[in-house]
């Protein structure tokens, strides 16, 4: 438990001591000074004020305000998690361990709560296993790579390849598009948002437009047009039946093939049915325009999850609508949410063992709401559920250290 003692306001005493010390030194040097906002030396040499009272007062006030904010945060955390064990990771960043009981059976919880207004040096962002999407790594490896103080597993991913399933944006760059328009969380400089995301993209050739249905995602429909960028890997996916592949480099169609195509570093490959892409020919000048709906201006990062757990302060578990019926039941869980005062909350719940039975999605939703989340969503769970804090795995995943993951969410300095 953190204890914060209020400091007395000592800036006036410090100021008085500084002035007295300077006065004594100046008198002994046989110079005459006037200690005021416009100090002047008697022999005609003008100098700046030795001590700027206004600046010192403002600086002291800022320090006191920051200390009060930190003390208030610490007290709030102590009240909220009074039945847990609280650890300070950094100012404004807490790790809490606690056990809750559901129908008399235990669930072991690890919670991260962060207030980035307390400590502006802290940042949060998705972290990838590699610079290519079809890779996996342990959460410890990703945390070390990103200098994360704390991290949890992130979006769902294709186990065979590691490709994230759903929208992923890091530092304003879209790596993957949405799956089934599932809910995603947006990270802005001054806050967060959470909504179901749609992919809006088209290829423009002159006055003609061709709809592009997704980016860097496994094919789900033979009728979809999907763009594969160098982030996907060296080659595109296989061509669907009655399909074709259009290679674009520097906004020009450079090749058309039915085989897997090498993805140019300065371009992309469109894979889709000939009925939609057959009008393109080598030498055509084209432009790919990509956006999302809602159009989140100035969003820095986006990560996908699903289903919703809390929406606008209310329990809202839309598992069926987001085609996630297969993840029901009682399982290990990972979730992310934010409060009305923009605290981030990350949580893992261990499961599938006698000492911790896991949570249903409804139990997880009520837990996130009870912690003050106005919006919250489920992340990948089950065997993926893992939390890292300052070099250690703090929960108990089924495999020691956790399984290899596609991506994570990290808090770093």
Residue 310 has pLDDT above 50, yes or no: yes
Cα separation, 313 vs 339, in Å, equals 9
Give the pLDDT of residue 364: 98
Cα separation, 380 vs 386, in Å, equals 10
DSSP secondary structure string for all residues of 157-188: B-TTT--B-S-EEETTEEEE--STT-EEEEEE
pLDDT tens for each residue of 222-240: 899 999 999 999 999 999 9
The structure tokens listed for 178 are 């949405």
User: Residue holding tokens 């039945």?
Assistant: 83
User: Which helix H or strand E contains 243, and what residues bound it?
Assistant: strand 243-249
Residue 169 has pLDDT above 90, yes or no: yes
Cα separation, 199 vs 196, in Å, equals 10
Percent of the chain with pLDDT over 90: 81
- Output 119 or 42, whichever has higher pLDDT: 119
CA torsion 96-99-103-105 (nearest 10°) is: 150
- Output 410 or 38, whichever has higher pLDDT: 410
Cα separation, 287 vs 205, in Å, equals 7
| Rounded CA Rg of the chain | 28
Residue 246's contacts (CB-CB under 8 Å, 6 or more residues apart) are: 253, 255, 256, 269, 270, 271, 277, 280
Q: How far is CA 135 from the centre of its chain?
A: 19
Residue 313 CB coordination number (10 Å) = 12
**Regarding beta strands 208-212 and 85-90, do their DSSP bridges make them parallel or antiparallel, or are they unpaired?**
unpaired
Average pLDDT score over the chain? 89
pLDDT tens for each residue of 323-363: 898 898 999 999 999 999 999 999 999 999 999 999 999 99
Give the pLDDT of residue 52: 62
Residue 39 has pLDDT above 70, yes or no: no
Residue 317's contacts (CB-CB under 8 Å, 6 or more residues apart) are: 307, 308, 309, 361, 362, 365
> Do the Cβ atoms of 226 and 238 come closer than 8 Å?
no
| For the chain, domain boundaries | 11-68, 85-196+296-412, 199-293
Residue 40 has pLDDT above 50, yes or no: no
> Do the Cβ atoms of 214 and 224 come closer than 8 Å?
yes
Q: Where are the alpha helices (DSSP H) in 235-334?
A: 274-277
């Amino acid at each position: 438990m953190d204890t914060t003692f209020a400091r007395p306001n000592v800036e006036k005493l410090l100021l008085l001591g500084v002035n007295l010390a300077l006065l004594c030194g100046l008198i002994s040097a046989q110079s005459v000074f006037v200690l005021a906002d416009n100090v002047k030396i008697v022999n005609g040499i003008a100098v700046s004020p030795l001590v700027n009272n206004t600046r010192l007062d403002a600086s002291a006030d800022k320090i006191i305000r920051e200390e009060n904010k930190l003390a208030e945060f610490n007290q709030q955390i102590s009240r909220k998690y009074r039945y847990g064990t609280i650890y300070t990771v950094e100012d404004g960043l807490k790790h809490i361990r606690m056990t809750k009981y559901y129908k008399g059976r235990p669930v072991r919880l690890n919670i991260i709560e962060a207030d980035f207004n307390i400590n502006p040096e802290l940042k949060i962002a998705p972290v990838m296993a590699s610079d290519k999407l079809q890779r996996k790594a342990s959460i410890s490896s990703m945390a070390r790579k990103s200098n994360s103080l704390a991290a949890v597993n992130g979006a769902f991913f294709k186990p065979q390849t590691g490709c994230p399933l759903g929208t992923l944006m890091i530092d304003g760059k879209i790596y993957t598009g949405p799956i089934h328009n599932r809910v995603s969380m947006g990270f802005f400089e001054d806050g967060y948002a959470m909504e179901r995301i749609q992919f809006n993209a088209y290829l423009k050739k002159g006055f003609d437009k061709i709809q592009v249905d997704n980016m860097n995602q496994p094919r789900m429909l033979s009728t979809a047009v999907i763009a594969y960028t160098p982030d996907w890997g060296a080659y595109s996916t296989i061509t669907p039946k009655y399909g074709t592949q259009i290679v674009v480099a520097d906004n020009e169609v450079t090749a058309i093939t039915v085989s897997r195509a090498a993805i140019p570093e300065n371009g992309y490959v469109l894979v889709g049915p000939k009925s939609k892409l057959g009008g393109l020919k080598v030498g055509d000048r084209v432009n790919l325009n990509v956006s999302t709906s809602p159009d989140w201006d100035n969003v820095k990062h986006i990560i996908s999850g699903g289903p919703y757990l809390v929406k606008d302060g209310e329990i809202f578990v839309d598992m069926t609508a987001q085609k996630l019926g297969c993840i029901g039941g009682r399982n290990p869980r990972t979730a992310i949410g934010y409060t009305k005062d923009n605290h981030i909350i990350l949580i893992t719940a261990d499961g599938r063992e006698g000492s911790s039975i896991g949570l249903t999605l409804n139990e997880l939703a009520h837990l996130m709401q009870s912690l003050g989340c106005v919006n919250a969503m489920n992340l990948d769970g089950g065997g993926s559920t893992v939390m890292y804090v300052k070099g250690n795995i703090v929960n108990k995943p089924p495999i020691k250290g956790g399984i290899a993951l596609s991506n994570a969410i990290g808090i770093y300095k």
